[in-house]
Chains A and B, each alone.
Chain A
Amino acid sequence: MAEITMYHYLVLGLVLFLAGILGSMIAKNVIKVLISIEFMLTGININFVTFASYCDNANFNGYVMALFYVGIGAVELAVALYIFYLMFQKKESDNIEKYSEL
């Protein structure tokens, strides 16, 4: 077990991002897709915070950006869930393949 460097955190963020992409591509349930998208955002946040901690001791701009991402991610999730609610009332299903026709 060597010393923990910046790259360890970066790889962690990358893996979380890739897992989110994989989930958003293969999941058949809309809610699962949304959760996967949240995973992607979390991975990106980890990236931001890592760079801020290791490369930017003066301003911590990455922290601020991560904060904004959390806020915007919450907004996006709320809007997406409302759209899902409307679509669910119409299609009566949460299977994403049913949503292929508009």
Chain B
Amino acid sequence: MTDLILDNVYLILLLPFWIFLIIMGGRFFSVYVNKKIIYALTLLSSFLGILLCGATLIKMPPTIEQSFPFIKINNFILSFGLHIDKLSLIIALVLFLVSFCVQAYSISYMKTEAKSYRFFALLNLFNFSMAGLLFSPNLFQMYAFWELVGVVSYLLIGFEYKKNEKSEASRRVFLVNRVGDTALLGGILAVSYFMYNYAGNFSFTTLDFEDMNAISTLLYAYTSTLQFYLISLLFIAGAAVKSAQFPFHIWLQDAMEAKLPVSALLHSATMVVAGVYLVIRLLPMFMLEKNLLIITGAIGLVTALVCSILACIETHPKKVLAYSTSANLGLMFLALGFLNVKAAVIFLVAHAFIKAMLFLCLPKDDEKITYANFITFLVGALSLSGILFSGMVAKELIFAGLEGQTSLAVIFCLVAFFTAFYIIRLALLLVKDRELVKTFAPARFIPAVLLLVMNIVFYFYLKHEVSYKVAEPFWAALAAWGAVYFVYRKGLLTRFTKTPRFVEDFYYKTLPAVYERVASVCSFVDVIIFANYKPLISCAKFKVRVVGWVEENIMNRSVSLTASGAKKISEWDFKLQSRNVQSYNAYGFILITIIISFVIITYTLVLSQLS
């Protein structure tokens, strides 16, 4: 069977990477000085990605496997390639849709920046790494792209690396992400170890997603309960850090130092989605123990509550949106905790469209917001709070999946209330001190409208496909609007602006202090015990004397001899260099004569020996 599209799906993955190489290499060799070529190539890559993803999704193959063996160690054959199914295709389609809009937006946004070609190249690399993560056939390749996503986000956040606070923020983001990466790597290696030692089939060692059910069952059978919990918790920790869940949500605040397009991409479809995607892939493992699902859901719920409340106090618009991202991803985790994968994916897609649109509507730091952007922002806010379009459907779906547990439903409604509250509060804050401007910038406006159109199209698709009913979260959000109006009239909007920084303080102050205490205890052992042990000291003194003698008499002598010899040679050589062409000619002739004489002597000797 030959199919033009299905045979060439690898282009989805490779196209952004090629464009990245073309832009970087072309700039490095000064081939493409023209910026328009870079813009066109970047847009083309994501547009072709959309077309290919969409076409593949319409053809709807069961699964596509295109891979080649990458590492071969005896029975351990790690393959590198593509594993495409419906889930990864949907998320990849959303990824390319969002990144197309964001790239179109950043053309006008980055017009005045220096070295903007690097920015576009990195956007392409971001697409490549995220698509590679989505299409990975096994956990090892997924880990590689997982790290690549982290590295590219580090590069993009620290794009203006000469500004100190930006480079520091990018470093913090990278370090916090490292925690999750390490946990994930530990989990992968542990599972691989058990599979290699206990499973009969060596093909399980590479942890292909296709065999995930069998691998989970085998792992459950071969490990003790504690081990199984530990391994699964490592995976959950990795996913939670990448998705900015509660104890680690701080890196998303630091990531706010990035440019607006980067934030839009990072928060919607690229980086934070990776954690949710990993959890979906590993659900067969978590299903075996009920408690693991409860832990996943609990992490999500706590994050949603805490971050929603924090967002109500924060005043910086980008940070509010960052808290909101953490909270919404928490809702996805909650849905996954109830094995409600469909609702989680629908919420992921809806959230990607809404959040990217909200970011694209924000003005630059020193600009005022325009009328057009503000109205789009308001529509997005309504959608995010669950009153309009796909945001409403997704939220109701998650709520319906809670299976009528009253306490959870109350907390969920609380979260919905706070979500509506902080987003409308943010909209009011945006226009509070600054006036709206009437200028119309189509290059900044159209990408946001495109995302809104996608949101609406997705809503009608959901209306056609999914059955849902309007329930409590909708009314909670409506109530929040009233509450905001009340607060606004009373002038209390910016009364509570001091954000509690317990988690940040724990990471940046308590942990270093503990580390220093431990280090001082260790040095105490060093100082008290080793410094007073006589034989050790005399031995060290003797060693120092021997080393000193060797250094003085052998090392130094030889070094100074070399130096003086080199000096003599250079003096002699300096005399030879008379700047006279003819003397150089003579030296060359003499040297060539010597060489040819030796060649002839050897040649004659060898030939006379032979004869």
* Chain A residues engaging chain B, CB cutoff 8 angstroms: 21, 24-27, 33, 96-97, 99-101
Contact in complex: A25, B586 (CB < 8 Å): yes
Contact A25 B585 (CB under 8 A): yes
Is B582 a contact of A25 with CB atoms below 8 Å? yes
Q: Which of B380-423 contact A (CB under 8 A)?
A: none
| Min CB–CB distance A22 → chain B (angstroms) | 9
In the complex, what distance in Å separates the CA atom of A27 from the CA atom of B582? 9
Other-chain contact of B579, A24, A26, A100 (Cβ < 8 Å): A100
B570-591 CB contact bits vs A (8 Å, 1 = yes)? 0000000011111101100100
The closest CB in chain A to the CB of B582 belongs to A25
| Residue in chain B with minimal CB distance to A27 | B582
Chain B residues within 8 Å of A97, by CB: 580
Which residue of chain B has its CB nearest to the CB of A99? B581
Q: What is the interface of chain B mostly: helix, strand, loop, or mixed?
A: helix
Cα-based distance from A101 to B579 in the complex (angstroms): 7
CB pair B581 A21 closer than 8 Å: no
Q: Is the CB of A25 within 8 A of B579?
A: no
Distance in angstroms from B114 CB to nearest chain A CB is: 39
The DSSP consensus for interface residues of chain A is: helix
Q: A21-B589, A25-B589 are in contact. Are A96 and B582 (CB under 8 A)?
A: yes
Partner of A96, one of B578, B581, B586, B589: B581
Give the size category of B's interface with A.
Answer: under 10
**Considering the chains assembled together, what is the distance between the CA atoms of A99 and B586 in angstroms?**
17
Closest to A30 in B: B581
- B578-611, CB < 8 A from A: 578-583, 585-586, 589
Q: Shortest distance in angstroms between B544's beta carbon and chain A's nearest beta carbon?
A: 56
A to B CB contacts below 8 Å, 16 in the list? A21-B585, A21-B589, A24-B582, A24-B585, A25-B582, A25-B583, A25-B585, A25-B586, A25-B589, A33-B582, A96-B580, A99-B581, A100-B578, A100-B579, A100-B581, A101-B579
Report the bound CA distance from A24 to B581 in whole Å: 10
Report Cα–Cα, A26/B583, bound state, in Å: 9
The answer for the CA separation of A37 and B580 in the assembled complex, in Å, is: 17
Q: Which residues of B contact A24 (CB under 8 A)?
A: 582, 585
> When the two chains form their complex, are residues B589 and A100 in contact, meaning their CB atoms are under 8 A apart?
no
Could you tell me the distance between the alpha carbons of A99 and B584 in the complex, rounded to whole angstroms? 14
**CA distance in complex: A96, B581 (Å):** 8
Q: Which residues of chain A are near B589, meaning CB under 8 Å?
A: 21, 25
Closest chain-B Cβ to A72's Cβ sits at a distance in Å of 20
Provide the residues of chain B in CB contact with A33, threshold 8 Å. Answer: 582
- A25-B589, A100-B581 are known; give 4 further A-B pairs, CB within 8 A: A25-B585, A26-B582, A27-B582, A97-B580
- Interface-centre pick from A27, A96, A99, A100 (highest chain B CB count, 10 A): A100
Provide the bound-state CA to CA distance between A26 and B580, in Å: 11
| Min CB gap B577→A, angstroms | 11
Instruction: Report A18 CB to chain B, min CB distance, Å.
Output: 9
Q: In the assembly, what is the distance between CA of A99 and CA of B585, in Å?
A: 15
A27 proximity list for chain B (CB < 8 A): 582
- Residues in A with CB closer than 8 Å to B585 are 21, 24-25
Alpha-carbon gap, A10 to B580, bound state (A): 31
Contact partners of A21 in chain B: CB under 8 A = 585, 589
| A27, B581: Cα distance in complex, Å | 11
- Cα A21 to Cα B126 with chains together (Å): 65
Q: Of all chain A residues, which has the CB nearest B585? A: A25
Residues of A within 8 A of B586 (CB): 25
- What is the minimal beta-carbon distance from B584 to any residue of chain A, in angstroms? 10
Cα distance A33–B585 when bound, in Å? Answer: 12
A residues less than 8 Å from B579 (CB atoms): 100-101
When chains A and B are docked, how far (Å) is the Cα of A26 from the Cα of B589?
13
A25 shortest CB reach to chain B, Å: 5
Contacts of B578 in A (CB 8 A): 100
CA distance A25 to B583 in the complex (A): 7
Tell me the bound Cα distance from A67 to B588 in angstroms.
27
User: In the bound complex, what is the Cα–Cα distance between A21 and B583 (angstroms)?
Assistant: 12
Residues of B within 8 Å of A100, CB to CB, are: 578-581
Q: Bound state CA distance, A54 and B589, in angstroms? A: 29
Q: Which residue of A lies closest to B589 (CB)?
A: A21
> Taking CB as reference atom, which chain A residue is nearest B586?
A25
Which residue on chain A has the smallest CB distance to residue B584?
A25
CA of A97 to CA of B581 in the docked complex: distance in angstroms?
9
* Distance to closest chain A CB from B607 (angstroms): 18
Most A C-beta atoms less than 10 A away, residue of B582, B586, B589: B582
A33→B582 CA distance, assembly (Å): 9
What 1/0 mask marks residues of chain B from 361 to 375 whose CB sits below 8 Å from any chain A CB? 000000000000000
A101: B residues at CB distance < 8 A: 579
Look across to chain B and name the residue whose beta carbon is closest to the beta carbon of A101: B579
A88 vs chain B, min Cβ distance (A):
16
Cα(A26)–Cα(B578), bound, Å: 15
The distance from the CB of B367 to the nearest CB of chain A, in whole angstroms, is 57
Quote the shortest CB–CB distance from A98 to chain B (angstroms): 11
User: Please, what's the 1-or-0 string for B136-172, where 1 marks a CB less than 8 Å from any CB in chain A?
Assistant: 0000000000000000000000000000000000000
Name B583's closest neighbour in chain A (CB-CB): A25
**Nearest B residue (CB) for A33:** B582
**CB-CB < 8 A to A25: which residues of B?**
582-583, 585-586, 589
Q: Shortest distance in angstroms between B592's beta carbon and chain A's nearest beta carbon?
A: 10
Distance to closest chain A CB from B80 (angstroms): 53
Q: A28 — nearest CB in chain B belongs to which residue?
A: B582
A24 to B583, CA, bound (A): 10
Q: Chain B 19-32 against A: per-residue CB contact (8 Å), 1 yes, 0 no?
A: 00000000000000
CB-based closest 4 A-B pairs? A100-B579, A25-B582, A25-B586, A25-B585
In the bound complex, residues from chain A placing their C-beta under 8 Å from that of B580 are 96-97, 100
Q: Which residue of A lies closest to B578 (CB)?
A: A100
User: Inside 8 A of A96's CB, which chain B residues have their CB?
Assistant: 580-582
Interfacial chain A residues near B582, Cβ < 8 Å: 24-27, 33, 96
Q: How far is the CA of A24 from the CA of B584 in the complex (A)?
A: 11
**A101 vs B586: C-alpha distance in the bound complex, in angstroms?**
19
Chain B nearest CB from A28 CB (Å) reads 9
B580: nearest residue on chain A (CB-CB)? A100
Residues of B within 8 A of A26 (CB): 582
Q: In the bound complex, how far is the Cα of B580 from the Cα of A27, in angstroms?
A: 12
